[in-house]
Structure 1
Amino acid sequence: MEFTVSQIAELLGGKVEGNGDDKIKMLGKIQEAKAGEISFLSNPKYEPHIYDTKATAVIVSKGFSPKKKLNTSLILVDDPYSSFTVLLEEYHKFITFQKSGVEDPSFIGENSKVGIDVYRGAFSYIGSNVKIGDNVKIYPHAYVGDNVEIGDNTIINAGVKLYANTKIGHHCVIHSGCVIGSDGFGFAPQADGSYKTIPQMGNVVIGNYVDIGSNTVIDCATFHGDSTKLEDGVKLDNLVQLAHNVKVGKHTVIAAQTGVSGSTTIGKYCVIAGQVGIIGHVNIADKTSIGAQAGVSKDTASGSKLWGTPAIDVMKYQRSYAVYKNLPDLNFRLKQLEEKVLNLPTFRESE
């Protein structure tokens, strides 16, 4: 990658102060950047570094006023942090979508259709009747089962397993080790104490602009014609488990080690922190926020903020915790009071 400072400023909607013709090849931290790299200054704590940075250019706020002479060009923007994030995204796209063509050995089944500029890495397997859009990147050792559909500009990283009939939208990123479409945890208890497997016949449908972290597992729906669904813009961290028939609304984010039991519906714009457990058949309403390690056992109201196990309103939880952490001291004081009461002298009425 090599762009001029002016080209980057145009991309970010910023203004150049300095040499707009200087070339940028890489991104870097302001305190470590070298010539040919671009950095940003957002936190005032790091301002001292801008006066001795070796970066060719630094993205700064429009209101930035240097206190000393600078040896770097500036790109003035409204929000340096957001602008640098945009630059990171563009750089990531550039390096990620460079690959194209087919590496050997790889396999593709009958009646499968592949778009233009697709990359198929070595040892990748593509089943029959698969539809793959344009500019899709399928990295080595990925498995794509029969009847799978993958939209344009989606990345399937190394070692991903997509079971048959899975549907994935465009501009998605599926990270290494994900398993999508595996059987749900369906077992019927028998009279003798054993369990009989319930066949899982549905599929998984994933919307557009969805990111799924490494080693996350999403189970297929139970019945044929039904789907476990993730709507547009959903972001899942590593090691998330979504059981059969779960529905996740658009732009919801779920952090690592969260487990969602079967047939639960999660609304739009929810934020679910790490290690949360959600029982089956409940409805998590839109814009619900759930704190780390919470256990959710019932439906939530829209916009609610929950914490604890069982999960309750975050303000009630904090007030309860203020009491809970003082229980040892309160218990000690209660015992002291009890001893005093038991040792009070006994008074009898005068005869």
Structure 2
Amino acid sequence: MKLFEIAKIFNAKVEGDGNIEITGVKGFEDSREGDITYIASSKYIESAKNSKASAFIVKEKIEEINKPQLITENPQFVFAKLLEIFYVKPHTHKGISEKALVANTVKLGNNVTIYPFVYIEENVYIGDNTVVYPFVFIGRETLIGSDCIIYPNVTIREKVKIGSRVIIHSGSVIGSDGFGYIFHEGKHHKIPQVGGVVIEDDVEIGACVTIDRATTGNTIIEKGTKIDNLVQIAHNVKIGQNCIIVAQVGIAGSSNIGDGCILAGQVGISDHVEVEAGTIITAKSGVMPGKLSKGVYSGIPVFSHREWLKANAIFQKLPELYRKVRELEEKIKQLEQA
């Protein structure tokens, strides 16, 4: 594909030779002749000068680089889309495998692919172009939209509702029982978990994620949210639109995460927490019950990230401060003895 053809796709501007042939898309350190890469910021310009790439995707023309440049508002987005164009092959329609167990009451849209060893219970609906890979279990009365990809070894329990263009990676469990017990007469008695899970359009769920069904009502993941690997989402949690939930996050029951929030790796959210839209919580932080206003937070329990940075700087100086205190105590002791 020629560079000017790429420019047309993204309504971008070409500086330099637009007729060069682009044969691949790579990072600037791995690029070879024929590849296109991108420069995220000015701090990478010196490194990019040594790249063998034939063209660069940039936000503004970079005079120091004497190679063709594709100028666009969001270089990283264009780079990601080019990776998709060059390397991501669409899933081919293979129909329903004879080795899959599909109940007679299951309804399938057009061009659905069901691989061998899939088990689908009664009254399930699966929309057009959805692909279900081997060893997937789909429970009764579950609804799955169009253009979804469900990778091997995913478990989708009964009465789950999944929108369109949803991706669920291997090993995830959607609709497992919420963790609810009542202690009575010396024993833990299980609270039946009779609710469901609703996953809206354009959600991506990483590998080995668990999303528990609600006690009553629904656990809800709203459209556009992306969930990394090894995340636990408990019963009756609601996660808003376009959130980013990074690996090993745990969200306890009945918490509400607003639109556009970012929860970094290993964040722990206690039960009945409300996090306002647009909030960022940094890695390994812990949020106690209550309401968290929009902002950036760190620590256990969380407080303002700016204040946390100051506190952390002091924490690192504690050994030095401790030595000084001991020295002062010794001097005071000597003065008192004198």
Same fold (TM over 0.5): yes
| TM-aligned CA deviation for residue 285 of structure 1 | 1.4
Q: What are the ranges of 5 or more consecutive residues in structure 2 without an aligned counterpart?
A: none
The residue number in structure 2 matching 1:185 is 179
CA distance in 2, matches of 1:174, 1:115: 19
Q: Deviations over 1:267-320 (max 9, x none)?
A: 111111111111111211111111111111032343222111111111222222
Task: Tell me, yes or no, if the aligned pair for 2:2 and 2:18 is still in contact at 8 Å.
Answer: no
| TM-aligned CA deviation for residue 342 of structure 1 | 2.4
**1:46 maps onto 2:47 in alignment:** yes
**1:217 maps onto 2:210 in alignment:** yes
CA distance in 1, matches of 2:38, 2:308: 39
Task: Tell me, yes or no, if the aligned pair for 1:188 and 1:195 is still in contact at 8 Å.
Answer: yes
The residue number in structure 1 matching 2:219 is 228
Q: 1:184 to 1:293 in 2, by over 3 A?
A: same
Task: Tell me, yes or no, if the aligned pair for 1:100 and 1:137 is still in contact at 8 Å.
Answer: no
SS at match of 1:232: coil
CA distance in 1, matches of 2:125, 2:200: 15
| TM-aligned CA deviation for residue 9 of structure 1 | 2.5
The residue number in structure 2 matching 1:131 is 125
**1:208 maps onto 2:201 in alignment:** yes
Task: Tell me, yes or no, if the aligned pair for 1:173 and 1:212 is still in contact at 8 Å.
Answer: yes
| TM-aligned CA deviation for residue 345 of structure 1 | 4.7
Q: 1:126 to 1:49 in 2, by over 3 A?
A: farther
| TM-aligned CA deviation for residue 89 of structure 1 | 3.7
Q: 1:276 to 1:344 in 2, by over 3 A?
A: same
CA distance in 2, matches of 1:346, 1:46: 65
Q: What are the ranges of 5 or more consecutive residues in structure 1 without an aligned counterpart?
A: none
The residue number in structure 1 matching 2:247 is 256
CA distance in 1, matches of 2:30, 2:279: 40
Q: 1:119 to 1:4 in 2, by over 3 A?
A: farther
SS at match of 1:205: strand
**Residue correspondences, number:** 334
| Alignment RMSD (CA, Å) | 2.4
Q: 1:122 to 1:8 in 2, by over 3 A?
A: farther
Q: Deviations over 1:143-176 (max 9, x none)?
A: 1111111111111111111001111111111111
The residue number in structure 1 matching 2:17 is 18
CA distance in 1, matches of 2:96, 2:33: 37
The residue number in structure 2 matching 1:97 is 91
SS at match of 1:87: helix
Task: Tell me, yes or no, if the aligned pair for 1:182 and 1:219 is still in contact at 8 Å.
Answer: yes
Over alpha carbons, which structure has the higher Rg?
A: 1
What residue identity is the alignment partner of 1:210?
A: V
The residue number in structure 1 matching 2:233 is 242
Task: Tell me, yes or no, if the aligned pair for 2:264 and 2:281 is still in contact at 8 Å.
Answer: yes
Q: Deviations over 1:233-282 (max 9, x none)?
A: 11111000001101101111111111111111111111111111111112
Q: 1:114 to 1:313 in 2, by over 3 A?
A: same
**1:171 maps onto 2:169 in alignment:** no
What TM-score does the superposition give when structure 1 sets the normalisation length? 0.86
Higher mean C-alpha deviation, range 123-132 or range 238-247:
123-132
Matches within 5 A, 1:1-351: 3-16=1-14, 17-18=16-17, 20=19, 22=21, 24=23, 26-34=24-32, 37-42=35-40, 43-50=44-51, 52-53=52-53, 55=54, 58-61=56-59, 63-65=61-63, 68=66, 75-91=70-86, 94-192=88-186, 194-223=187-216, 226-345=217-336
What residue identity is the alignment partner of 1:342?
A: K
SS at match of 2:219: strand
